[in-house]
Chains A and B, each alone.
Chain A
Amino acid sequence: MAETVGFTPTEEMTLIRSTARQFLGDRLSIGVVREQMMSGEGFDRSLWKEMAELGWTGLMIPEEHGGAGYGLAELSVILDEMGRNLTPGPFLASAVLATMAVMEIGSDEQRAELLPALASGDRLASLALYEGPRDWGLDGIATTARPSGGGWVIEGVKRHVLDGHMADTLLVLARVGDDLGLFAVDSDAVEVEQVPVLDLTRRQATVRLNGVHVPAERALGERPVGQGLRRVLAMGSAALAVEQVGGAQRCLELSIEYAKTRYQFGRPIGSFQAVKHRCAEMLVRVEQARSTTQHAVRVTDDPEELAIASPLAASVASEAYVWVAGETIQVHGGIGFTWEHDAHLYLKRAKTSSLLLGDPRFQRDLLGRALGL
């Protein structure tokens, strides 16, 4: 089994972090996040162009396809800052998950066709995988693709498609006989309906494919795609875990700030051990989660190690964030339960994030399989 490779941030990572913190602070302060989360689309698409100009949408895309050619370790710095900031929008859906799927599964021609527009920010994409509420293992996919006139006809309903209402291209998982295939489908050809979500900063859509015709060259890579897709989801889970740690860190900071300045019984509530120990335990859980995520994003070139490191990070970070966000409301007392305070935004992001790509039990099952337990 591989050992950890370096936790110290590289110069590039430090640079990316400072750009991200500045941009998100200037253009997506919490006030702006709140405006956007109450809007119909949930995200102002003009900001996507700005992110693309910063090179964020193409960070992982190879240079020959218009990207910067970095890895997940560099990308994760942006996700960390976005998690802190509760940044809304399709970054996870498009720039992370869908982009990685094209990179991992697509043929050379398909990569050359799809990646430049993703890198430039001209095209948004999203994975349309799940149908039922616990489809994380990709075992119960009912959507079908059948050959027709040199192309494919796809029939089925996809749910929980992240930011599907903004996507130009949907990467639809469908059954082809006993195999699984992934199809790049134009959103014009399908019925997309935004659904009401718990976390208003990350939207979902239901996608209905009623006998949609897809040309042959839009079937990504070679079937079956299950293995490649699981690898994408492992990297995606590691990426999401980084975002979760960013959010948990911000919750910890909010709690400490409040515990130092809120007085009851004539002293700051942080001087009471009941509160102090809660905060100290938050610190421990955030730091432990951070170690697992930083490890996971650095081992993506080692499939065997990633199979352990990704579910480790996903389960630890998910549980840490949900707990820390919950305790943040508790430390704040009544004010923490108001709409006005930001604590609920973090709780909603925390709980939903822990369910997006596999709940902690599912992730631990993956971990157990990787460990032979």
Chain B
Amino acid sequence: MSDHVEQLLDRLLEEHPPATTPHEVFWGAQYDLGLAWVWHPDGFGGLGLPRRVQGLIDRRLLDGGASVENRHINLLGIGMGAGVLAAHGSDAQRRRWLRPMFTTEEMWCQMFSEPGAGSDLAGLATQAVRDGDEWVVNGQKVWTTLAHVAKWGMLVARTDPDAVKHEGLTYFIVDMESPGVDVRPLYQITGEAEFNEVFFTDVRLPDSNRIDAVGAGWRVSLTTLMNERVAIGGNAVPRGSGRIAQAIEVWGRSGLEDPVLRDELLRLWADVEAFRLTSIRANEMTAAGTPGPEGSTGKWAWATHNKAIASFILDVMGLEGTLYPDGYSMSRPPAFEGRSPQHGFLRTRANSIEGGTSEIMLNILGERVLGLPGEPRVDKDLPWKEVPRG
């Protein structure tokens, strides 16, 4: 880390002592000094430095008692939206949105999936029709995290139904407080509503909220999704932490000595440790400038292991696993800590669906990493409106 960055860090921590400064104020100052997304250009929360420097900065801030929780709180904005604005936004758009995003004063959500467009995202049907300097949006989105608290939503909509599906899409930022935006909780198998459905009825948004060109929506979405898969599959965590820690704890408490269950526990431990070492290796090879196929395997492996462990924990619990101690609350979920293993068993079912299904991940590995040929596509040269649906 350069002296310049060190000085800026010292200044930030001195002028805004984390212990007595409200988080929003601290994060605002951090943005203004260029320490928010250090790889962004000057004036947009960055200093034009390599991306990896951010990790060093965040560690220093943590050591200095500051919070970097904003990256979690506003995950979809800071983790994905910022990347889209950096790569595809105008300076005016970056100026308008980046700072309050970083301070969490304006929360963000992402509106891609639809009831009729999951894995085949490019087939989505929500329509945006141009009307002078405005666009009029009608349609429905689903699985929208944080839509109920978000000020801004990233929206991909169909602007040309006569084009082939990838080419008729455009990317917008929607004010979630606009008339005609209706956010409803979507209850999932845990009995909670982590996600939402969002309905658009004649929602009007200005053309200045369009990101990149009309028809460039697919390209812009790919930027978002790449960042999402990094966010889901890419973290290196301490050995034996996370769900396997819960398995070990439940195993220890059970007092069981069953050799079959023990072997299964150890197999799961070995699986997640192999996955963890692979994440570390991938990060190291990427840092050394020689990334290999190891980096792409994370999401699939993580989802597979996580589900298996969650299910195993209930096996160890026996009949206790048939209970649901907190009941089906039919409400927004509480904070993430201390959820029951039974809740984990249900929640992990989504791991192989969210952020790219396991089937899609294997297609990506097969086609992009191993170079195997794709499936024949029946929708390839058809205008979107003629593609069979159902």
**What CA separation (Å) do A273 and B280 show in the bound complex?**
29
CB-based nearest A residue for B240:
A371
Known: A295-B277, A312-B273. A283 touches B372 (CB 8 A): no
Per-residue contact bits, chain A 254-280, to B (CB 8 Å; 1 contact, 0 not): 001001100000011011110111011
B365 touches A280 (CB 8 A): yes
Q: A271-B376, A288-B297, A316-B270 are contacts. A364–B263 as well, Cβ < 8 Å?
A: yes
In the complex, whether A315 has a CB less than 8 A from a CB of chain B is: yes
1/0 contact trace for B46-83 toward A, CB 8 Å? 00000000000000000000000000000000000000
**Quick one: which of A260, A272, A294, A361 contacts B263, CB cutoff 8 A?**
A361
* Contact B285–A8 (Cβ < 8 Å): yes
CA gap between A6 and B285 in the complex, in Å: 10
Contacts of A287 on B, CB cut-off 8 Å? 278, 292-294, 297
Total B residues in contact with A, Cβ cutoff 8 Å: 44
Q: How far is the CA of A259 from the CA of B371 in the complex (A)?
A: 10
A260 B371 Cβ-Cβ under 8 A: yes
Chain A residues contacting B361 (CB-CB under 8 Å) are 280
A227 within 8 A of B: no
Contact between B267 and A279, CB atoms less than 8 A apart? no
Residue interface mask A342-373, B partner, CB < 8 A = 1? 00000000000000000001001101100101
- Give chain A's interface residue range (CB within 8 Å of chain B): 35 or more
How far does the alpha carbon of A259 sit from the alpha carbon of B374 in the complex, in Å? 12
Docked pose: A268 CA to B370 CA in angstroms: 14
> Which of B239, B273, B362 makes the CB contact (< 8 A) with A281?
B362
Q: B376 is contacted by which of A1, A267, A368 (Cβ under 8 Å)? A: A267
Given known contacts A7-B284, A273-B359, A373-B266, is B369 in contact with A283 (CB within 8 Å)? yes
- Identity of the chain A residue whose Cβ is nearest the Cβ of B262 in the assembled complex: A368
Write the nearest CB–CB distance from A269 to chain B, whole angstroms: 9
Contact B362 A276 (CB under 8 A): yes
- By a CB distance below 8 angstroms, the chain B residues around A148 are none
Task: Scan B233-254; emit 1 where CB is below 8 A from any A CB, else 0.
Answer: 0000001100000001001000
* B265 lies within 8 A of chain A by Cβ: yes
Instruction: Say how far A188's CB is from chain B's closest CB, in angstroms.
Output: 44
Alpha-carbon separation in the docked complex, A368 to B375 (Å): 44
Contacts of B275 in A (CB 8 A): 288
A290 interface contact, C-beta 8 A: yes
Q: Are A373 and B280 in contact (CB under 8 A)?
A: no
Is chain B's interface secondary structure helix, strand, loop, or mixed overall? helix
Task: Say yes or no for B325: interface residue by CB 8 A criterion.
Answer: no
| A residues less than 8 Å from B301 (CB atoms) | 284, 288
Q: Which residue of B lies closest to A368 (CB)?
A: B266
> For the complex, is B363 an interface residue (Cβ under 8 Å from A)?
yes
Chain A, 275-333, CB within 8 A of any chain B CB: 275-277, 279-281, 283-284, 287-292, 294-295, 312, 315-316
B362 to chain A, nearest CB (A): 4
- A19 within 8 A of partner (CB): no
Does B269 sit within 8 A of A, measured CB to CB?
yes
Kindly provide the distance from the CB of B384 to the nearest chain A CB, expressed in whole angstroms: 24
Shortest beta-carbon distance, A267 to chain B, in Å?
7
Contacts of A22 in B (CB 8 A): none
B323 at the interface (CB under 8 A from A): no
The answer, among B240, B266, B294, B366, for a CB contact under 8 Å with A276, is B366
A66 to B110, alpha carbons, bound, how many Å?
Answer: 65
CA distance A364 to B278 in the complex (A): 19
B119 to chain A minimum Cβ distance, whole angstroms, is 12
Q: Are B372 and A271 in contact (CB-based, < 8 A)?
A: yes
Tell me the smallest distance from the CB of B65 to a CB of chain A, in Å.
Answer: 25
A-facing mask of B252-286, CB < 8 A → 1, else 0?
00000000001101110111011101101100110
| Assembly CA distance A158 to B131 (angstroms) | 88
A279 pairs with B366, CB closer than 8 A:
yes
Q: Take A270-B366, A291-B294, A368-B262 as given contacts and tell me if A279 and B372 are in contact as well, using a CB distance cutoff of 8 Å.
A: yes
Question: Is B315 an interface residue, CB under 8 A from the partner?
Answer: no
B284 CB contacts on chain A under 8 angstroms: 6-8
Given contacts A256-B372, A291-B294, contact A277 B265 (CB under 8 A): no
Closest to B365 in A: A280
Smallest Cβ distance from B309 to chain A, in angstroms?
A: 14
What's the nearest-Cβ distance from chain B to residue A355, in Å?
16
A selection of 10 A-B contacts at a CB cut-off of 8 Å is: A268-B373, A270-B372, A271-B373, A271-B376, A277-B363, A279-B370, A280-B370, A284-B297, A288-B277, A290-B294
Known: A276-B366, A288-B278. 9 other contacts (CB 8 A): A7-B285, A270-B366, A280-B362, A283-B297, A287-B278, A316-B270, A316-B274, A365-B263, A373-B262
